[in-house]
Amino acid sequence: MTPECQSAFEEIQSRMIQAPTLVPPNAARPFVIETDASDFGVGAVLLQEGDDGELHPLALNPRSFRQRKRNYPAQERELLGILHALRSWRCFIEGRSG
Establish if 10 belongs to a structural domain: no
Which CATH number goes with the domain that contains 58?
A: 3.10.20.370
pLDDT at 73: 96
pTM for the model stands at 0.77
SS (H, E, C) 23-86: CCCCCCCCEEEEEEECCCEEEEEEEEECCCCCEEEEEEEEEECCHHHHCCCHHHHHHHHHHHHH
> Could you tell me if 80 and 66 are in contact, meaning their C-beta atoms sit under 8 angstroms apart?
no
Domain count, the chain: 1
Residue 98 has pLDDT above 70, yes or no: no
Residue 1 within any structural domain of the chain: no
Residue 27's φ and ψ, nearest 5 degrees, are -65, -20
Residue 2 located in a structural domain: no
Digit-coded pLDDT (tens) for 36-78: 999 999 999 999 999 999 999 999 999 999 999 999 999 999 9
Domain with 71 in it: 21-93
In a domain, 11, yes or no: no
Tell me how far apart the alpha carbons of residues 30 and 48 are, in angstroms, rounded to a whole number: 7
Tell whether 98 is covered by a domain.
Answer: no
